[in-house]
Amino acid sequence: MKHVRGWRDALAVLGFLSPALLLVGAFTLWPAVWAVVQSFTNRALTGIGAQDPSFVGLANYQRLLSDGDFFGSIGRTALFTIASAVIGQTLLGLAVAYLMAERPGWKLRMTPLFAAVFLLPLAVPETVAALAWASMANGTEAGLLNRALDLAGLGPVNWLQDHAMATVIVVNTWRGLSFAMVLFAAAFESVPTSVLEASMVDGATPWQQVRRVTLPMLRRQILIFLLLTVITTVGIFGLVYFLTRGGPGSATQLIGIYIYEVAFRFFEIGYGSAVAVILLIILTAFGLYYVRLMREET
Amino acid sequence: MKSTEGRHPAVTQASPSPATAGTSTDGTQGPPRRRAGAARWGAYAILFAIAAFSIMPFSWVILASLDSDATIFVRLPEEWTVQNFVTVFRSAGGVQLITNSLIYAGGATVVLVIATTLAGYALSRYEFPGRRGFMLGLLMVRVVPPTATIVPLYVIATDLGLLNTYHGLILILASLEVPLGVWIMKGFFDTVPIEIEEAAWMDGATRLQAAFRIVLPLAGPGVGAAALIGFMGAWNQFLVPLVLISDQSRIPISIGLFRAWVAYTNVDWGLLAALSVVYIIPALVFYIVARRVLQQSLAGGLAGT
């Protein structure tokens, strides 16, 4: 590696970095700053706030404090994230990955084939995934899920009307579970065989082996995956919006959907920016922890 | 557990699968081996169930696209047809959607590869104050999704005249993948020994010549990985084009699907499904070709290498 000495080197480095810097600066950093600035205004897309937005101080934030829809969307986002990202994807993913991974005395066949099939839900665009589930979870008797229920003598259930939140949780678990499984399976296999064999010689039961040897060794990797999937899930939009548009009522109105509705359906840019700032703060908190974990690597 | 053990030999005889080769020599083994055999069957049952669950929702997309009288429901077509696909590629609207998506994804890929190759090279080859901070800062940027920035992004795009333009959406779509792309490229450049480059300098090559002729070809897989995430990210994006592109002649496939879906009355389900299949194909091909590379680089993103 070359140490930068003199203005020529400095200029070269700056030149190399500038396209990436410009892109990130113009379309992520600047919008983040701009969100904060606008959250103190009454800017709108129609009416007086469109022609002449003015500074309103903390009015938008005061309004947030008494906005039931806002707190509702935060609560739903928390529920959605814990159920689909933490329990659905990460915990379930760990369990199934443990089945797939090879270790002394345990080897399943066709695991690469399984992995390829498992990854399909993630490989397709979220709009197609949502469309496929719209058919699958159709509330009439002819919907595929209801036909399966019918075989058991149950149903029909109006999934997207009566159990919309549960349905989108299942859909998001379905989409991300595969990725967790495949990554964790690789992680499990990275644990040295000798360590596992040593613990077996010492008389550890399989459960003790997992709890005392395997999981502690993979702690950091699991934590990083958990953080990334939580961050992605908190910021989700397309998959849920395509399926339910936040409804029925506001049953699946997650924070991302709420921001979109406030800004682009009710045209309140200033207020929408204030909600976005709250989301940015939440994500930054997770992000700082993520960066701290990754810091040891660089 | 007991009944499973008792049934196990019969099961293995009924279906002599290679998976059971190690356990089907019944009688000669102690109970622990048999229990492992039963556990293995259980594991296969779980994996098959998840595999079925993974594929099942797509059954409608595939079957409806080949159905001459498709509905929103899964059914075997009474009359199989490829007419839906013909319509997608013959109709002006269908061709326009596909062209637009190709322009956005292709453009974003090119922009991303250029930006991340340059940045990755500098971060791998130069030591300068703030280098590490820059890398970690990119990770911070990575955790900010478009959901959180879309409102100001709309205002900024309006001010810059980027609404409803190809180049505007291309730049924004590329910017979303810059953090991961730079990390990947830097990782690949790190694997190319500096000695190779130094040898080229000895032979009289300038730093840029050496970088382009010697290092870049060796970091080829990295360029491939960056191109892959650039293409996939742009091809799949939904929220950003939903907000920034309203002009019907400029919308990509994702928005075309959404508009057809929310119209709800008179939806041509067969056509919608066929368009979905067309939309899936590039993503799927890319995924199959590069699953290894992608898995490694994403795993690398996890481990931070």
Q: What is the mean pLDDT of residues B35-58?
A: 85
pLDDT given for residue B7 in this prediction: 35
- Kindly state the DSSP code that residue A191 receives in the 8-state scheme: S
Residue A262, judged by CB atoms within 10 A of its CB (0-12, 13-18, 19+), counts as buried
CATH code assigned at A255: 1.10.3720.10
Name chain A contacts of B73, Cβ cutoff 8 Å: 135, 138, 140, 142-144
Task: Answer with the residue of higher pLDDT: B276 or B9.
Answer: B276
Among B114, B117, B107, which residue's Cα sits nearest to residue B182?
B117
- Among the partner residues A2, A143, A245, nearest to B73 by beta-carbon distance: A143
Whether chain B has a CB inside 8 Å of the CB on A195: the answer is: no
Q: Which residues of B touch A16 (CB under 8 A)?
A: 118-119, 121-122, 126
Check residue B295 and give its pLDDT: 56
- A-chain residues within 8 Å CB-CB of B182? 20
State the pLDDT at residue B221. 80
Q: In chain A, which residues have their Cβ closer than 8 Å to the Cβ of B114?
A: 19
**The predicted structure's pLDDT at residue B86:** 87
Residue A22 within a domain: no
- Residue B10 buriedness (CB in 10 A; 0-12 / 13-18 / 19+): exposed
pLDDT digits (tens, 9 = 90+) for B165-180: 999 999 999 999 999 9
Which stretches of chain B are DSSP H helices? 2-14, 31-55, 58-65, 83-90, 92-125, 131-142, 146-159, 166-190, 194-202, 207-210, 216-218, 220-236, 239-244, 253-263, 269-303
Cβ distance A19 to B59 less than 8 Å, yes or no, reads: no
How many angstroms away from the CA of A107 is the closest CA of chain B? 9
Counted residue by residue, chain A has a size of 298
A152 found inside a domain = yes
pLDDT at B150 over 80: yes
Return residues 11-70 of A near B (CB < 8 Å).
12-13, 15-17, 19-21, 23-24, 26-32, 34-35, 38, 43
Q: Looking at beta carbons, which residues of chain B come within 8 Å of A236? A: 145, 147
Instruction: For residue B297, give the 3-state DSSP assignment.
Output: helix
Sequence-distant (6+) residues with CB within 8 A of A156 are A139, A140, A141, A143, A146, A149, A150
Which helix (H) or strand (E) segment holds residue A284: the answer is helix A269-295
Q: What is the DSSP letter of B144?
A: -
Contact A242 B295 (CB under 8 A): no
Q: Does A273 touch chain B (CB under 8 A)?
A: yes
Give pLDDT tens digits for A172-184: 999 988 888 888 8
Based on the structure, what is the number of domains in chain A?
Answer: 1
In chain B, domain spans: 2-56, 85-303
Please give the pLDDT value at position B33.
Answer: 56
Task: Report residue B293's pLDDT band, with 50, 70 and 90 as the boundaries.
Answer: low
pLDDT band at B5 (very low <50, low <70, confident <90, very high): very low
Greater pLDDT, B255 or A218:
B255
Of A123, A132, A225, nearest to B284 by CB-CB distance is: A123
Type and span of the H or E element at A128: helix A126-136
d(CA A163, CA A252): 10
pLDDT of the residue at B31 = 53
Over residues A46-56, mean pLDDT: 74
Residue A57 maps to a domain: no
* In chain B, % of residues over pLDDT 90: 36
Cβ of A138 within 8 Å of Cβ of B72? The answer is yes
Q: Among B143, B212, B275, pick the best mutation site for testing chain A contact (most A Cβ within 10 A).
A: B143
Using a 10 angstrom Cβ sphere, with 0-12 exposed, 13-18 middle and 19 or more buried, the burial of residue A147 is: middle
Q: What is the Cα–Cα distance from A238 to B276, expressed in whole angstroms?
A: 15
Average pLDDT over residues B47-69: 88
Give A123's contacts in chain B (Cβ within 8 Å).
280, 283-284, 287
Residue A106: pLDDT band with limits 50, 70, 90: confident
User: What is residue B35's predicted lDDT score, i.e. its pLDDT?
Assistant: 63
**Which residues of chain A from 82 to 141 reach within 8 Å of chain B, CB to CB?**
96, 99-100, 105-106, 108-110, 114, 116-121, 123-129, 131-136, 138, 140
- Report the pLDDT value the prediction gives residue B3, as an integer from 0 to 100: 38
pLDDT of residue A6: 77
Give the mean pLDDT of A79-100.
90
Are the beta carbons of B148 and A290 separated by less than 8 Å? no
- Residue A4 DSSP label: P
Question: Which has the minimum average pLDDT: A88-102, A255-269, B212-226?
Answer: B212-226
Q: Do the Cβ atoms of A108 and B44 come within 8 Å? A: yes
DSSP assignment, residue A142?
T
Task: Kindly state whether residue A181 falls inside one of the protein's structural domains.
Answer: yes
- The pLDDT of residue B25 is above 50: no
**Residue A150 pLDDT exceeds 90:** no
What whole-number percentage of chain A has pLDDT above 90? 39
pLDDT higher than threshold 80 for residue B265: no
Residue A130 C-alpha, separation from nearest chain B C-alpha, in angstroms: 9
Work out the widest C-alpha separation in chain B, in whole angstroms.
79
Res. B4 pLDDT band, cuts 50 70 90? very low
State pLDDT tens for residues B91-143: 888 899 999 999 999 999 999 999 999 999 999 988 888 888 899 999 899 88
Binning pLDDT at 50, 70 and 90, where does residue B21 land? very low
Say whether residue A154 is in contact with chain B using an 8 A CB cutoff: no
Contact in structure between B274 and B84 (CB atoms under 8 Å): yes
| The token pair that represents B201 in the structure block | 């300098």
pLDDT at residue B298, rounded to an integer? 52
B54 Cβ contact list (under 8 Å, min separation 6): A117, A118, A120, A121, A174, A178
pLDDT band at A1 (very low <50, low <70, confident <90, very high): low
Coil, helix or strand at residue A251: coil
Lowest-confidence segment of A7-16, A151-160, A272-281 by average pLDDT:
A151-160
| CATH architecture of the domain covering B85-303 | Orthogonal Bundle (1.10)
Domain encompassing residue A230 = 66-295
Identify which of A104-108, A132-136, B212-216 has the greatest average pLDDT.
Answer: A132-136
pLDDT digits (tens, 9 = 90+) for A66-76: 999 999 999 99
The answer to whether residue A188 neighbours chain B at the CB level (below 8 Å) is: no
**What is the mean predicted confidence (pLDDT) over A252-281?**
92
**Total CB pairs under 8 A between chain A and B:** 304
Taking CA–CA distances from A132, the nearest residue in chain B reads: B57
The residue of chain B with its CA nearest to that of A34 is: B152
By the 10 Å C-beta count (0-12 exposed, 13-18 middle, 19+ buried), A164 is classed as: buried
